[in-house]
Amino acid sequence: MNDAKPIPHWRLLAGVNRTQSWRRLKSAVAHSRLHAFLMGLFVLSYTLLAYALFHKALQFTSSFPGLGPVLIERMIFLLFSFLFLLLLLSNVIINFTNLFRNRETHFLLSLPVPHQVVYRWKIFESGILASWAFLLLIAPLVAAYGTTYNAPWHFYFVTPLFVALFVVLPAILGSWAAIGLARWVDRLAFQVAAVLAVIVLIVFVSSWLQPETVTDEMLETRVLDVVDRLLSRTRFSLFPFLPSYWVSSGITQWVEGALMGTFFFGLVLLSHTLFFGYLASTCTGGFFYGALSAVNSRGSGAAAFWKFWRRKPRLGQAAFEPKPLDRWAKRLWWGSADTRSLIVKDIRTFWRDATQWGQSLILLGLLVAYIVNLRHFSHRLTSDFWINLTSYLNLGACALNLATLTTRFVFPQISLEGKRIWIIGMAPLGMRRTLMAKFLFSTAVSMIVTMALVGASCAMLSIPLERILYFTLTVGVMAFTLNALAVGLGAVYPNFREDNPSKIVSGFGGTLCLVLSFLYIIGMLSLMAATSRWAFGGSSAVIFGLGWALFLGGSFLLGWLPLRTGIRKMANLEI
């Protein structure tokens, strides 16, 4: 009976997922044509605006005789080496979720679908999910690079091919790393290792970014030597065994007309992609299945920890005793007991999901490393212009970092309640207070972290106290707005069906949240800089006051409106 000519499983999976995605898109467009139009407009505007900015910047840089091309070439190498790192990290996280915590994976493994096919399909899916946003971000830069050097028309066809081959490698390596982590590292070990890794990263980056002492005499007489020394920190991107080196070399040589060189690096990239692709698509399924079984069979990490210390986990009545977190929450949260309980639950859920807090640790770790290093070169900033520019850029960097964190972690908060939404929906707590508690808690944490970071970065730049206060307050207001926006939009566009926060964020609401957050930061930062009392020419007290009032008003509106809409939507939610 079951002897039809078999259709490859891979094709069936591609077909069914294509249908699902297409219907999701259609339903999103049908749900709100305006939003779909705005999203399309944003993507187009970003692409054009980014292209224009990159093109102008590259033309400016290339205008330095001798030095420009060197800097631009190194920038391309750096771009792809960091892209490789980010793609690797993104693939590890998404593969971990997609391979081991995905219900479709479990469903497919109960059918006569080989482990290898399931694994192959999942890394393909994860690779796309992990890469598309990065590729969208860098596309205008690569296009601007091509036009700056008047690259031939075929550059724009060959480059996507190079990039397509390139993204396969981090996808495969990321999936292998995810399998290794899942197979050998339990949650507790991962948490400890992640914290240690971030500490090592901060120490390493802090020591690696030591300043180079350059005298005026050297600048006048030994320019190339100085440039060489300054670029020495970026030499890692020229390591010839990095895939990013092959793709960068291929692209830069194509622009220069060295087609044989491009052909060579293209073949290097192709051979590695084929080699690793072959290994992944033929030999990794068994390891994946072993790792999945290990994940499903894993005992409690805490139990192993207690056993290690020859102590038994507490049983019976003792299990209900307040834990340190409960005691701390009681001291620090002045709200009522029900909202405190909600916050404690959110913290526990967050802490016990290493893929959630691991990403925020890395982002914050890099920011801390940067700020710690400010002290090395702040004494070199003798001009007020550079001090002011750096302080505004610090504010921007901190706010952009915060926007990433609020979109990634605060936005999915309501959606992550998922099918359990009835628990808080039915409780006397009410959806309004639930939302407000989540908002107040995330805002409080964000304010503490960002205000401390901005305050520290200003102190490193040795700027006067009133300006430190100004920047610290500004980022505090931004923290309010970004959190209100994320909580509000998270409630307006909930996705109760999805358990994977990465997928929740990559939906319409998450993208809108990120876009609005970035636009808000860029807009407000420009406003604050333009109306600054002291920087960039300075402005009158009236203009300064007007700018500050506009900032406060705009921040309040952009935060409060989505929050209020979200509260109304949640209040009328039919569970």
Partner 1 sequence: MIEIEQLTKQFGDLRAVDDISLAVPAGEFFVILGPNAAGKTTTIKVMAGLMKPTSGSVRICGSDIGTSPIEARRRMAYVPDFPFLYDKLTPAEFFRFTGKLFGMKDATMEAEAEHLAKRFNLGEFLAKPIESLSHGTKQRVAIVSALMHSPEVVVFDEPMVGLDPHHSRVLKDILREQADAGVTVFVSTHQLSVAEEMADRIGIMHQGRLVAVGSHEELQAANRDSTLESIFLSLTDDDA
- Contacts with partner 1, residue ranges (CB under 8 A): 1-4, 6-7, 9, 12, 15-16, 19-20, 23-24, 27, 103-104, 106-107, 109-115, 289-290, 292-293, 296-300, 303-304, 307, 497
Place of tokens 């993104």: 90
In angstroms, give the least distance from the CB of 301 to partner 1.
Answer: 8
Quickly count: other Cβ atoms within 10 Å of residue 18's Cβ: 10
Token duo for residue 375: 């002290």
In angstroms, give the least distance from the CB of 313 to partner 1.
Answer: 9
In angstroms, give the least distance from the CB of 569 to partner 1.
Answer: 19
In the complex with partner 1, the residue whose CB is nearer, 107 or 275, is: 107
Shortest CA distance to 561 belongs to which of 571, 572, 573, 553? 553
Question: Are 423 and 342 within 8 A, CB to CB?
Answer: no
Shortest CA distance to 248 belongs to which of 123, 78, 398? 78
In angstroms, give the least distance from the CB of 186 to partner 1.
Answer: 9
Shortest CA distance to 408 belongs to which of 502, 492, 517? 502
In the complex with partner 1, the residue whose CB is nearer, 197 or 295, is: 295
Angle 200-99-303 from CA coordinates, rounded to 5°:
60
Measured CA to CA, the distance from residue 376 to residue 371 in angstroms comes to 10
In angstroms, give the least distance from the CB of 297 to partner 1.
Answer: 6
Shortest CA distance to 478 belongs to which of 418, 416, 525? 525
In the complex with partner 1, the residue whose CB is nearer, 12 or 573, is: 12
Give the CA distances from residue 531 to residues 463, 517, 528, 550, 559, in Å, rounded to whole numbers and listed in that order: 18, 21, 5, 10, 22
Q: Quick check: helix, strand or coil at residue 574?
A: coil
In angstroms, give the least distance from the CB of 15 to partner 1.
Answer: 8
Measured CA to CA, the distance from residue 301 to residue 306 in angstroms comes to 9
In angstroms, give the least distance from the CB of 356 to partner 1.
Answer: 23
Pure H helices in 112-258 = 115-148, 155-184, 187-208, 216-221, 223-231, 243-256
In the complex with partner 1, the residue whose CB is nearer, 111 or 426, is: 111
**Residues whose CB is less than 8 angstroms from the CB of residue 225 and which lie 6 or more positions away in sequence, other chains included:** 218
In the complex with partner 1, the residue whose CB is nearer, 164 or 192, is: 192
Q: Quick check: helix, strand or coil at residue 379?
A: coil
In the complex with partner 1, the residue whose CB is nearer, 1 or 318, is: 1
In the complex with partner 1, the residue whose CB is nearer, 188 or 205, is: 188
In angstroms, give the least distance from the CB of 27 to partner 1.
Answer: 8
Question: Are 525 and 396 within 8 A, CB to CB?
Answer: yes
Quickly count: other Cβ atoms within 10 Å of residue 506's Cβ: 16
Q: Specify the length of the chain in residues.
A: 575
In the complex with partner 1, the residue whose CB is nearer, 69 or 290, is: 290
In the complex with partner 1, the residue whose CB is nearer, 240 or 316, is: 316
Residue 407 host element (H or E): none
In the complex with partner 1, the residue whose CB is nearer, 110 or 317, is: 110
In angstroms, give the least distance from the CB of 506 to partner 1.
Answer: 16
In angstroms, give the least distance from the CB of 107 to partner 1.
Answer: 4
Measured CA to CA, the distance from residue 85 to residue 174 in angstroms comes to 10
In angstroms, give the least distance from the CB of 113 to partner 1.
Answer: 6
Token duo for residue 509: 């609401």
Question: Are 177 and 272 within 8 A, CB to CB?
Answer: no
In the complex with partner 1, the residue whose CB is nearer, 206 or 506, is: 506
Place of tokens 């601007």: 144
